[in-house]
């Protein structure tokens, strides 16, 4: 089992949106970074743990725990000319972009980025590196365990 941090803008898809979705599952669409795409395509497996992270908002942070709920498949938004994620170079025969389904597992205490920065156990986390902008990044099992424990303190 592997662990991941996946960023979503809460105005687009929040953790509460995932909790409210049928089977608490949504498609993770719109990734347009090759390294993040490769993580989904080549390294993620059903059941892998996800730190669902709210980004590009007033208080960025880990909003909940989730899991990978499907194998990778072509992101349908790349073929939709009306979508802001449309890619005219992608074809159904040769898709360029990948989606996976993500299932909400647990809503814990919201963990703001500023708080995460205070824990020595997380100092090597990709998210906390200066200039890190990846929408999907690997998380070590030690980092995962630290964040899960923090999330469960004062659970909402």
* pLDDT exceeds 60 at position 155: no
Q: Which two tokens stand for residue 60?
A: 């960025």
Which residue is associated with the tokens 């949504």?
A: 26
Do residues 116 and 122 touch, judged by C-beta distance below 8 A? yes
What does the pLDDT look like over 64-108, one tens digit per residue?
A: 999 999 999 999 999 999 999 999 999 999 999 999 999 999 999
Determine the Cα angle at 134 with ends 144 and 70, to 5°.
65
CA dihedral defined by 108, 114, 118, 122, rounded to 10 degrees?
70
Gap between the Cα atoms of 18 and 149, Å rounded: 22
pLDDT at residue 154, as a whole number: 65
How many Cβ atoms from other residues are within 10 Å of residue 126's Cβ?
A: 14
pLDDT per residue as tens digits for the range 36-57: 999 999 999 999 999 999 999 9
Task: List, in sequence order, the alpha helices (H) in 21-116.
Answer: 34-38, 113-116
Task: For residue 28, report the phi and psi dihedrals to the nearest 5 degrees.
Answer: -95, 100
Which domains, and CATH codes, for the chain?
Answer: 3-152 (3.10.590.10)
pTM score above 0.85 = yes
- pLDDT at residue 131, as a whole number: 84
Average pLDDT over residues 106-132: 95
């Amino acid at each position: 089992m592997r662990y991941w941090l996946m960023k979503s803008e809460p105005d687009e898809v929040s953790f509460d949106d995932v909790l409210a979705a049928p089977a608490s599952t949504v498609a993770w669409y719109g990734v347009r970074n090759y390294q993040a795409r490769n993580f989904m395509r080549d390294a993620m497996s059903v059941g892998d743990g996800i730190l669902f992270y709210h980004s590009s908002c007033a208080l960025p942070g880990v909003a909940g725990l989730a899991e990978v709920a499907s194998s990778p498949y072509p992101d349908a938004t790349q073929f939709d000319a009306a979508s802001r994620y449309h890619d005219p170079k992608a074809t159904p025969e040769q898709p360029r972009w990948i989606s996976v389904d993500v299932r909400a597992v647990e809503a814990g205490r919201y963990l703001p980025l500023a708080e995460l920065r205070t824990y020595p156990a997380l100092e090597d986390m990709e998210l906390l590196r200066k200039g890190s902008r990846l929408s999907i990044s690997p998380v070590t099992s030690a980092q995962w365990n630290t964040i899960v424990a923090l999330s469960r303190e004062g659970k909402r």
